[in-house]
Amino acid sequence: MQNQTLRIATRKSPLALQQTKYVQEKILSLYPNLNIKLVPIVTHGDNIINKSLSKIGGKGLFIKELEVALLENKADIAIHSMKDLPMNIAKDLCLVSICKRGNPLDTLVSNHYQSINQLPKGAVIGTSSLRRQCQLITYRPDLIISPLRGNVETRISKLDQGKYDGLILAAEGLNRLNLQNRITQIIPAELSLPSCGQGAIGIQSRKKDKKVILFLSQLNHTNTFIEINAERAFCRKLNAGCQIPIGSYAILRKNKLWLRGLVGSPNGETILKGERIGWYTTGEKMGYSLADELLKNGAKKILKSLFFKKSYYI
């Protein structure tokens, strides 16, 4: 790939551009003479910020235009937050690499309170995620959950204007934007199980571009790939895409994989949880098995209700 040009499709949001810069630096460390051209794209999801994702089609709206750019040969690769990437991608495209995962957990961002436990009764919490909402309501039913869209900086500015007592945001997004100082609590997974793929960056390309696939495969972080493959298998079996209130989180340690999964009703009345522990080679099988268990225990009823109401929103 020396002395050639690689076109990278990316969203225009500050966080997306930071993620793309991270990948760009990784590529140039391997191929310093490669020319890189960014192809910034505003997605449909970026354009509509006054409606919840449940009303406009889910998180897939943040990647569709990037995939179209690949399919129309306007870009060679696309950079995505793994939590935004649907379980089933376009047939002519593939996920080439998943970079080493950062912090996968959720955080509390607040100007006055240091933890979820310290929030007073009736505190207003901003979040754009039903996954976060259903878990938070279960733990603290006295809190008021208020929908919140926009990029990270916009959300924090609304907090600073006094419109919210706290926000729930992804830890790694704040880290990448050098906003670590705004984190008041890293929320443990036991309280807020992360979204599938949260904290990781994925690289997508065309299946036919074997040369691109070969050299970009060097950026793949094996442990992260194994973890997220198990998480995505869990979501795929639920036929969930990234559009319903589910969480999945896998940790790989010494060849053993620990996978946790969750399906909840948006109002927090019902939350179903389960886990699997097994060898790293069985991650996909573990994901399917755990999804089957939750479906049998009541998740099927929850999912049918959500699809019937057209409320697809993690």
- Known catalytic residues? 84
Q: Tell me which residue has tokens 């060679």.
A: 76
Other CB atoms within 10 Å distance of the CB of residue 297: 13
Which candidate, 246, 245, 243, places its Cα nearest to that of 287? 246
Q: Tell me which residue has tokens 């060097």.
A: 218
Cβ proximity of 54 and 37 under 8 Å = no
What are phi and psi for residue 3, nearest 5 degrees?
A: 60, 20
| 88 token code pair | 């089933």
- List, in sequence order, every residue forming a beta bridge with 206; answer none if it has no partner: 93
Q: Tell me which residue has tokens 């630096």.
A: 25
For the CA atoms of 165, 171, 174, 178, what is the dihedral angle to 10 degrees?
A: 120
For the CA atoms of 224, 229, 230, 236, what is the dihedral angle to 10 degrees?
A: 150
Cβ proximity of 171 and 184 under 8 Å = no
- Distance in angstroms between the alpha carbons of the first and the last residue of the chain: 39
| 217 token code pair | 């495969």
> How do beta strands 124-127 and 166-170 pair?
parallel
